[in-house]
């Protein structure tokens, strides 16, 4: 068998058992058992970036600037794009983010 794809796998731990009905050749003649070498690769399919972690203050003084750091990664290594709307009493900031690497800092004037 070459590939097995599970369409909607359940979350959590999995037990994977490998067995063979017939072995054509003993891979390790130095042992008394009938042995076979094989390779098993199990990998998840990730559909998008992980949700960002946003670090910054939760309260602010009017007229001061504050930095907010957006940290995230994409399991496939692609650039990540977010659209952020920051609204205060007197201002609105719309910003498109392109995150290369793992973080991006936005400076906002409150």
Residue 96 neighbours by CB under 8 Å, 6+ apart: 81, 82, 83, 84
Note the pLDDT of residue 47: 66
Task: Judge contact between 27 and 37, C-beta under 8 A.
Answer: yes
Note the pLDDT of residue 80: 79
> pLDDT (tens digit, 9 = 90+) per residue, 5-36?
777 777 777 888 877 777 778 888 898 888 88
63: left (phi over 0), alpha (psi -120 to 50) or beta: left
> pLDDT (tens digit, 9 = 90+) per residue, 36-90?
887 777 776 666 777 888 888 888 777 788 888 888 877 777 777 777 777 766 7
1 pLDDT more than 60: no
Break the chain into its structural domains and give their ranges: 53-109
| Rg of the chain over all Cα atoms, to the nearest angstrom | 25
Distance CA 39, CA 101 (A): 32
Q: In what order do the strands lie in the sheet with 65-71?
A: 53-55, 65-71, 103-109
């Amino acid at each position: 068998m070459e590939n097995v794809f599970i369409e909607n796998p359940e979350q959590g731990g999995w037990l994977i058992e490998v067995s063979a009905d017939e072995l054509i050749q003993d891979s390790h003649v130095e042992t008394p058992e009938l042995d076979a070498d094989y390779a098993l690769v199990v990998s998840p399919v990730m559909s998008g970036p992980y949700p960002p972690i946003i670090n910054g203050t939760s309260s602010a003084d009017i007229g001061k600037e504050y930095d907010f750091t957006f940290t995230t990664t994409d399991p496939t290594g692609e650039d990540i794009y977010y659209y952020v709307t920051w609204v205060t009493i007197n201002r609105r900031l719309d910003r498109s983010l392109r995150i290369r690497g793992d973080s991006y800092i936005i400076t906002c004037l409150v």
